[in-house]
Amino acid sequence: MRDAGRAICTAGVLAAVVLAVAVAPARANVRSQALYARGLIPFNGGKWDDAYRLFDRAVQADRADAVALYYRGLAQARRGLSAAAIQDMSQALQLNPTLPHAALDLGVAYFDAGQYPEAKTWLERAHAQGGDRPTAAFFLGLTALRLGDNAAALTYFDEAKAAPELKPVADYYSGLALARQGQTDAARSALEQTARDLPQSEIGQVAQRYTTTELRRPSMPLAGPLAKPWSLYGSLGFAYDSNVVAGPSESDVSGRPGISGKDDGSTEIGFGGGYTLLDSDLGSVRASYDFYQSVHFSLTEFDLQGHRVQLLAASAPTGMVRYGIAGTYDFYALDYQSFYQEGLGTPWVSIAEGSDAATQAYYTLRGRDFFRAPFNPGRDSINNAAGLRQFVALGDPRWALGIGYQFDAEDTVSNGPMGNDFQYKGNQFDVDVAIPVLAETRIEVGYLLRFEDYQFVNSRPNRDGSFVRRHDVGNRVAAAAVHDLTEHLALTFDFIGIINNSNIPNFEYDRNIVSAGVRVVF
């Protein structure tokens, strides 16, 4: 009898426990519903902190309440806590994979956090679910732009344009993608549409400014990365050089005394092009070739011909860190005879600080080989350089400031008198600013200060006739202006000023070059 009573008692306790467990979620759910509903009131009023507190209590009341979790995530996102927002929305979607709008918002949260691959995954899911298809397409387009996939971006923006409320902004970003692809006419059309539809918005004003200025200026030599896979250019100009200083091709210079210090004019011809060999999610590879020829009016032995071949490989610009390597081969002929050749290799890495600044570190190994005496082998050298460079946007994204420092060591191959004379360690600082001025004109200005400390006592005397190590301080100023006449034709005007001070008079010189020309780009 006692056992039967105990059994009944145990069963009663178990039943009570089962009942309690069964009822507990229901109680929590009602409590959660009330707190969630109360949270909607401050949420609707933009009081994100108050809304967060109520949604948080709702989640505490029922941790399986997907809607409360989702709204706590939305409140977190509005409070700027994107990681917490992503966590809440992810959890909400685990609880309820079809929770309306949640996949789209999680994708947008990832996009806002700069996590584009994750954004793409969730936006694609929202796109497939269909409920928010045009909006999902729009954000997929933005994500594709960030990932450098302009073709995919265009497809998504075209789909987003089906929604009238999305069309003006989708037009703008289509224009951006088209401009990056080099389709300037189509880009102009899309951007002009945005400028008409949203004249007071930021993108409307940018579109207005860009369609009246930038799109007519693709020939800018300083312009940004080329969007289409190929490019071609040609240039013709005239230059005045106050001091033609490059050495002539002949080793026997006795018949050409007093060259330095003479001024002369020249015609300058250039052409070249580039082709993007690879452009994927992983990175890009681009090859280019440049030709240059100067033809002097009188000092024809200083006619310089240059051939440059470059190969640039870089990782895709999808994260905070980007890296790459640049390889360059230069060949120069002086007076139409071989002068020297050199090869340069530059691995580099850049770290973005937000979207307005970046720091770059690089190392350059350069080998230079002269073909003829007296420079071969006396001036043949290996140069090791390492530098840091800071890029900063100056409010208007078209304004750019670059500040750099570089250390380099020139190790001449020969240890004879000429070799010893030119072995040095150098430090240089430079600053460079690119500024859009008038509607169709852009100017870039740069200044470089360079110190060279030579490693051996020089074979030339200093001012008091003694022989000492050479120390130079060089100043270089350069300015370039480009004025677009048409989409493919531009006028160029350049100035270069060089003042080289040295403790040994032989190495002191000034040089000023002024040039003007036309440039054709396709």
Partner 1 sequence: MTRMKRIAIVGVVLVAVATQVTPGRAADEAGTVAAVAGTLQVQRGGRWQGVGIGAPIFLGDHLRTGAGDQAKVVLADDSVLQLAPDTEVALDKQVFDPTAQRFESLLKLARGKVRSWVSDYYREPGARFEVETPTAIAGVRGTEFIAFYNEGAALTEIVGMVDRVEVAGKLAVIGSVVQVGPQYYTEVRRGRFPSAPQRLDDARFHRYLEGLDLIGTGGHDGLSEMHPALAGHLLSPQDVPGGAAGGAVAEGLKVTAPPEFLADRLSPDVRANTQPLLEFKSVPPGQSPKATGGIKVGF
Which residue, 155 or 475, has its beta carbon nearer to partner 1?
475
Selected from 171, 241, 264, 440, the binder of partner 1 by CB under 8 A is 241
Minimum separation from the CB atom of position 301 to partner 1 (A): 10
Interface region with partner 1, contact rule CB under 8 A, candidates 6-14, 24-32, 150-158, 275-283: 24-32
Selection from 115, 171, 113 nearest residue 141 by Cα: 171
Interface region with partner 1, contact rule CB under 8 A, candidates 7-15, 38-46, 272-280, 482-490: 38-46
| Three-state secondary structure of 378-406 | CCCEEEEEEEEEEEEEECEEEEEEEEEEE
| Three-state secondary structure of 196-258 | HHCCCCHHHHHHHHHHHCHHHCCCCCCCCCCCCCEEEEEEEEEEEECCCCCCCCCCCCCCCCC
Selected from 142, 144, 147, 195, the binder of partner 1 by CB under 8 A is 142
Exposure string for 191-216, b = 16+ CB within 10 A, e = fewer: bbbbbebbeeeebbebbbbbbebbbb
Task: Name every residue whose Cβ is closer than 8 Å to that of residue 218 and which is 6 or more positions away in sequence.
Answer: 182, 184, 487, 488, 521
Hey, which residues between 262 and 291 contact partner 1 (CB under 8 A)? none
Interface region with partner 1, contact rule CB under 8 A, candidates 9-17, 98-106, 150-158, 272-280: 98-106
- What is the Rg, in whole angstroms, of the alpha carbon atoms belonging to the chain? 33
Q: Is 101 in the site for partner 1 (CB under 8 A)?
A: yes
Minimum separation from the CB atom of position 29 to partner 1 (A): 7
CA atoms 224, 227, 230, 232: torsion sign: negative
Query: What is the total count of residues that contact partner 1 (CB under 8 A)?
Result: 161
Q: Is 251 in the site for partner 1 (CB under 8 A)?
A: yes
Chain-centroid distance, C-alpha 368 = 30
DSSP state of 502: E
Which residue, 9 or 40, has its beta carbon nearer to partner 1?
40
Selected from 444, 483, 484, 519, the binder of partner 1 by CB under 8 A is 444
Selected from 12, 16, 162, 256, the binder of partner 1 by CB under 8 A is 256
> Are 148 and 317 spatial neighbours (Cβ–Cβ below 8 Å)?
yes
Hey, which residues between 353 and 392 contact partner 1 (CB under 8 A)? 353-358, 360, 362, 364, 368, 373-375, 377-379, 387, 389, 391-392
Q: Is 397 in the site for partner 1 (CB under 8 A)?
A: yes
Q: Is 427 in the site for partner 1 (CB under 8 A)?
A: no
Selected from 147, 166, 195, 490, the binder of partner 1 by CB under 8 A is 166
